[in-house]
Chains A and B, each alone.
Chain A
Amino acid sequence: MYKIVKKEFMAHDSIVLNEIESPQIAKKAKPGQFIMLKIDETGERIPLTMANVDKEKGTITIIYMIVGKSTKSFSMLEVGDSYLDCVGPLGEPTKIEKKGTVVCVGGGTGTAVLHPITRGMYEAGNNVITILGARNKDYLILEDEMETVSQELKICTDDGSKGRHGFVTDELREILETTQIDEVVAIGPVPMMKFVSLLTKEFNVPTLVSLNPIMIDGTGMCGGCRVTVGGKTKFACVDGPEFDGHQVDFDSLMRRLGAYKHEEEHSSECMFDEDLR
């Protein structure tokens, strides 16, 4: 059992933070790695990249958006409640080294995953420029936390309610045109990562993205999380979750993420209806 010691709602209650007791995972976890979480006996295994790790307290933090039945059920757990199963740390950690100037681009809950990586980049002595994007200012998360680990923080909102009125790619293009950038790390919705990668390719700047495809085991056993990278089949769980953004087939990833759309809707509909279950 993996107990929740802290819970917070963010972004109009659409995003939830859980700090979970798991000393073994906390001891080993590095930025960029993920866990598989299962709520109870009948639950499914959901991969979530860790947003924070407290080795002393023996806790890990995840931040997720409520999108379907599983995340809805997760969000109903309170402090003191427990997840039945939690496995990790899985995947290869981010290769953090001093590169020079690094731009970290975060969108949605991707910002949560980006945070420990950004901190790592900052602590490794990089000049870090962070760009955060959201629908509007209420959906921005971890602004203060990101600011403390960046030399510069840029905000973009679709409606202009805060920062630049526009997309993260507008801001990024301006930076790429004026500054020598050594690496871009982009984590967020698939379309965001796709368009960031297309843009950085124009400027020939190495770009790292973190993928979150559908998984079952998270240890390389099922191949459900396979993604096409540079024309080759890779398993996000053991070869990733981070890949060279210029090589990833994002359209294929997007299709695969929608594989169970119909089932997911059905599952959510049945959630509170014992007869339907």
Chain B
Amino acid sequence: MINVQNFTKKEKRAIPRQLMTERHPKQRAKYFDEVTLGYSHQEAQFEAARCIQCKDPECVKGCPVGIDIPGFLEMIVEDDLHGAIDRVWESTALPAVCGRVCPQEIQCEELCVVGLKDGKEPVGIGNLEMYIADWARINNIRNKVEIPKSTGKRVAVVGSGPAGVTVAGDLAKKGHAVTVFEAFHKAGGVLLYGIPEFRLAKDIVAHEIEQLKELGVKIEYNSVVGRTVDVDELLEEMDYDAVFIGVGAGLPNFLNIPGEDLNGVFSANEYLTRANLMRAFDFPKYDTPIIPGKNVAVLGAGNVAMDAARTALRLGAKSVKVVYRRTREESPSRHIELHHAEEEGVEFEFLTSPLEFIGSADGKLAGVSCEKMELGEPDEGGRRRPIPVKDSQFFIDCDLAIISIGTSANPLLTNVTDGLELNEWGNIKADLQTGKTTKDGVWAGGDITLGQATVILAMGTGRDAAVSIDEYLKTI
């Protein structure tokens, strides 16, 4: 093995960005195995050595949870892997998840000084975070935290997604008794039901949840807060001192075009939940069925749309078309996701808008009629508004259509909770710094406050709320 520690600065700077090995697109599109195979130890050392150890690192400012990036990279170079993972764990409870699903290209890596030079690429921070987290998991290295004496304070966390898990972990480490209430029969929220196996293996999520339990966090499954138990009951009857609401965005948006009730038309949430959480890809061993489309149309071009399109390929689709009314440049998905989808054979119909789902005589989907669009003047958000092109209607044959145009706030909990102020979209109003809501003893974070955001932003709100809740608990 080559020892990068002996490299001169010049030699280190000459190292090109280490590409992570990926399974062959045509092969991987048939299975649910993870796309990326991770760095070898040597590759990780080479990549970490590319970091120039800035005194005032920009990358850390781009990280919503403020990981000491140069710190853990240097430890990888020095072969102190135990030190490196401990450094990462100081800031995030879910490094194996973040390394995989964070949009690093618009966070830490966008600000990386190495990548600002002409022709140079930024340090692969996300890849290295994934590397160190996987190393720890494979070698059964545990996040050993000295848990302080119990404070006797009790916190209820609603939802076990990225925000909830972060709050729960942070508060448990402060000695508070934390119980997470999860509506589903398994913990992880969107990491479990939303993000597919090939992008984030479910045993990784399970491992992170196990670590949380080792911190003393209790999880109550099958508990729908707002139905099984109310926020006021948690505070008054069940003696919780504080409640954190991290229930996610929830309600899938539909297009409201004719034919949306045809068999074969799904929301991305339903399609992905069937495939991921309920493991419909393993039907009939698992009882939950899914319509295995031959020709699939995915409406929308965000990250969730890419997940749905690639899942459809793996479930045996012959053709998968992503239909989006703007162009590739406006697509809200990460470049890497779009690239992976394209490599695997997903086709794109840009500047195309669906008009109507057409069914066959037996009520099954036969196709979607569309029209071409062109980009006009920018709208209030600054994006150029798509306008229909006259007489441009055409038909896409499909027996499965997956609507992936975002979600809205689920009113299930907020409807029955007095004193929680909402914004005009139904999201809970929470202080930007602390996550504090308008209701005493109640904090909120993640997509129910942000609208639709990312795993790491949700974790960031969880981290902030944990600090605020901890301060509050000291005062009561």
Contacts and interface: CB of A to CB of B under 8 A. Distances in A.
Given A85-B185, A87-B228, A223-B252, A216 B289 contact: no
B229 A222 contact: no
Contact of A222 (B222, B252, B264): B252
B266 A42 contact: no
Nearest to B288: A44
Contact of B284 (A85, A235, A270): A270
B264 to A, nearest CB: 8
A219 B183 contact: yes
Contact of B287 (A70, A88, A219): A70
A235 B408 CA distance: 14
Contacts of B267: 222-224
B412 interface: yes
Interface in A216-230: 216-217, 219-224, 226-228
Interface string A143-171: 00000000000000000000000000000
A45 B363 CA distance: 24
Nearest to B185: A85
Interface in A189-238: 216-217, 219-224, 226-228, 233, 235, 238
With a 10 A CB-CB cut-off, give which of B185, B221, B227, B273 has the most chain A CB atoms: B227
Interface string B254-275: 1010001111101101100110
A55 interface: no
A259 B252 contact: no
Q: How would you classify the secondary structure of chain A's contact residues: helix, strand, loop or mixed? A: mixed
A203 B283 CA distance: 47
B227 A89 contact: yes
Interface stretch (A104-112, A133-141, A180-188, A261-269): A261-269
Given A44-B278, A45-B278, A219 B410 contact: yes
Contact of A87 (B183, B193, B250, B412): B183
Contact of B283 (A87, A223, A252, A267): A267
With a 10 A CB-CB cut-off, give which of B224, B254, B260, B279 has the most chain A CB atoms: B224
Given A25-B228, A255-B263, A267 B274 contact: no
A259 B289 CA distance: 10
A256 interface: yes
Contacts of A89: 227-228
A226 B278 CA distance: 19
B285 interface: yes
B425 interface: no
B269 A43 contact: no
B114 interface: no
Contacts of A98: none
A91 to B, nearest CB: 9
A266 B290 CA distance: 12
Given A87-B183, A233-B254, A43 B270 contact: no
B184 interface: yes
B291 interface: yes
Contacts of A43: 287
Contacts of B229: 24, 28
Interface in B219-234: 221-224, 227-229
B366 to A, nearest CB: 14
Contacts of A20: none
B251 interface: yes
B270 A216 contact: yes
A1 B291 CA distance: 30
A43 B282 CA distance: 12
Contact of B227 (A28, A85, A267): A28
A3 interface: no
A233 B256 contact: yes
A258 B263 contact: yes
Size class of B's contact patch?
35 or more
A76 interface: no
B270 A233 contact: no
Contact of A233 (B228, B261, B285): B261
Interface string A16-50: 00000000110010000000001000111100000
Q: How would you classify the secondary structure of chain B's contact residues: helix, strand, loop or mixed? A: loop
B284 A267 contact: yes
A117 interface: no
A84 B283 CA distance: 19
Interface in B280-298: 283-289, 291
A12 interface: no
Contacts of B223: 24, 87
Nearest to A69: B287
B261 A220 contact: no
Contacts of B252: 221-223
Given A256-B263, A259-B263, A263-B283, A220 B256 contact: no
With a 10 A CB-CB cut-off, give which of A25, A90, A223, A258 has the most chain B CB atoms: A223
Contacts of B262: 255
Nearest to A215: B270
Nearest to B186: A85
Interface string A70-112: 1000000000000011111110000000000000000000000
Contact of A24 (B228, B250, B287): B228
A216 B184 CA distance: 10
Contacts of B273: 216-217, 221-222
Nearest to B279: A42
B251 A217 contact: no
B363 A224 contact: no
A222 B270 contact: yes
B296 to A, nearest CB: 16
Nearest to A267: B284
Contact of A226 (B221, B250, B261): B261
A77 B277 CA distance: 24
A88 B227 CA distance: 7
A70 B287 CA distance: 8
Contacts of A42: 279, 285-287
Interface string B288-330: 1101000000000000000000000000000000000000000
Given A87-B228, A258-B263, 19 more contacts: A28-B228, A28-B229, A44-B287, A44-B288, A45-B278, A70-B287, A85-B221, A216-B270, A217-B183, A219-B183, A219-B412, A221-B252, A222-B252, A223-B251, A223-B254, A235-B251, A252-B363, A256-B263, A263-B283
Closest 5 CB pairs of A and B: A263-B289, A255-B363, A222-B270, A44-B287, A259-B263
14 contacts: A44-B289, A70-B287, A87-B228, A90-B227, A216-B273, A217-B273, A221-B250, A222-B273, A223-B269, A224-B266, A233-B254, A255-B263, A264-B289, A267-B284
